Amino acid sequence: MMNNVSFPSVSQVFASAENTKINTPTQTPFEAQRSFATVLKNSLNELNETQIQSDRLTEKLAKGENIDLHQVMIASQKASITLQATMEIRNKAIEAYQEMMRMQV
């Protein structure tokens, strides 16, 4: 039998949790909105850059410049995957917004 099993007291558990809690500053709604907008804008800029890079490499290949086909294909696939991921994120955000609009107050 297990008669000598002891558990830490609740106050010890809470004290331990307080010591390990990460103190992060809270953001105001305006700051959070601005932060989200910045992240979204940066993501769209990265998407645009991958599309431009893919277009440049494809154009160089079409002109007959000295460029490897595999570099063009890799850039093209990166651009395609980035676009697909962005579209899926957009779709999920729209679905979440629509779901919130359907909620009754």
Q: Render pLDDT for 45-82 as a digit per residue (tens, 0 to 9).
A: 999 999 999 999 999 999 999 999 999 999 999 999 99
pTM attached to this predicted model: 0.64
In the chain, domain spans: 29-102
What is the reported pLDDT for 6? Answer: 46
What is the reported pLDDT for 64? Answer: 94
DSSP string, 48-104: HHHHHHHHHHHHHHHHT-S--HHHHHHHHHHHHHHHHHHHHHHHHHHHHHHHHHH--
Q: What is the Cα–Cα distance from 68 to 57, expressed in whole angstroms?
A: 9
CA dihedral of residues 99, 44, 84, 76 (deg, nearest 10):
180
pLDDT tens, residue by residue, 48-58 = 999 999 999 99
Mean pLDDT on 4-8: 47
What is the reported pLDDT for 60? Answer: 96
